[in-house]
């Protein structure tokens, strides 16, 4: 039971240490050796970590000497460093590098936004040109439609006039046919009249040739004989 309680307390303390882990940085422009233990007599694992190097703190037990911090480098190498060379804030050079990186990212983002803006403006100009072209085509179509309507109304009016003229032509044709028929009848009557009159004149001439000689007085015989 005591062993279980001790293990539970150790686990809780270990979890608490992990929860309190933070990222520290080597301050100033120095190179700090990474050692295998919490003292200057321990073996050097790395000849010198440059200031500004990011380190991950690791949990330590109660027997750890003061002034030493257990850290991990590059997620693989672990060791001990003097606490005096560590700080919880990035160095000025690292902050400058971070600021430069942030500035570069901001400039890249700004350049991307400018490119998108230029593309948007180009598309907008193209759309405006298309809109102007569409408006011109619309006006042209409207004018053409008005012209077609005018032509159509004129054609309808001309068709109506043609129908009226056709009706008048048919009436004139009918009247002309009637006049031609009447003229033909008159010509026939006239020929008949001429023939009748001629026949009457011939008959009169024949009668005159027969009757007139008879109307002459008889010739008297002369008393004197030659």
Structure letter (DSSP) for residue 85? G
DSSP structure string for 38-58: SSTTSPEEEEEEETT-EEEE-
Domain limits, the chain = 17-90, 91-179
pLDDT tens digits for 170-185?
888 888 888 888 888 8
Q: For residue 17, what pLDDT is reported?
A: 47
pLDDT tens digits for 133-165?
888 888 888 888 888 877 777 777 788 888 888
Give the phi and the psi of residue 55 in degrees, each rounded to 5.
-130, 150
Structure letter (DSSP) for residue 76? T
Q: pLDDT truncated to tens, each residue of the chain (226 aa)?
A: 445 555 555 555 545 544 456 677 665 567 889 998 999 899 998 888 888 788 899 998 888 888 999 999 887 899 999 998 888 877 666 667 778 888 888 888 988 888 988 989 898 888 988 888 888 888 888 888 888 877 777 777 788 888 888 888 888 888 888 888 888 888 887 788 888 888 888 888 887 777 777 776 666 555 544 4
Give the phi and the psi of residue 68 in degrees, each rounded to 5.
-125, 145
Question: In the CATH scheme, what is the code of domain 17-90?
Answer: 2.30.30.40
Exposure letters 84-123 (e unless 16+ CB within 10 A, then b): ebbeeebbeebeeeeeeeeeeeeeeeeeeeeeeeeeeeee
> pTM for this one?
0.34
- Under a CB-based contact definition with an 8 Å cutoff, are residues 53 and 25 in contact? yes
Of 20, 23, 45, 28, the closest CA to residue 85 belongs to 28
Strand partners of residue 69: 81
């Amino acid at each position: 039971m005591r062993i279980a309680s001790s293990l539970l307390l150790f686990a809780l303390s270990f979890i608490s240490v992990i929860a309190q882990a933070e990222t520290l940085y080597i301050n100033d422009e120095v190179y700090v050796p990474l050692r295998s233990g919490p003292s200057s007599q321990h073996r050097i694992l790395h000849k010198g970590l440059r200031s500004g190097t990011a380190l991950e703190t690791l949990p330590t037990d109660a027997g750890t000497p003061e002034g030493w911090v257990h850290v991990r480098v590059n997620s693989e190498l672990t060791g001990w460093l003097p606490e005096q060379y560590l700080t919880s804030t990035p160095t000025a050079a690292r902050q400058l590098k971070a600021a430069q990186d942030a500035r570069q990212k901001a400039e890249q983002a700004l350049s991307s936004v400018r490119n998108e803006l230029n593309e948007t403006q180009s598309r907008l100009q193209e759309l405006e040109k298309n809109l102007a072209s569409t408006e011109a085509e619309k006006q042209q179509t409207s004018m053409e439609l008005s012209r077609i309507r005018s032509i159509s109304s004129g054609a309808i009016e001309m068709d109506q006039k043609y129908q009226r003229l056709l009706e008048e032509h048919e009436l004139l044709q009918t009247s002309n046919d009637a006049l031609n028929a009447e003229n033909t009848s008159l010509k026939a009557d006239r020929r008949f009249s001429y023939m009748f009159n001629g026949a009457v004149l011939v008959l009169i001439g024949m009668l005159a040739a027969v009757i007139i000689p008879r109307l002459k007085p008889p010739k008297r015989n002369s008393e004197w004989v030659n």
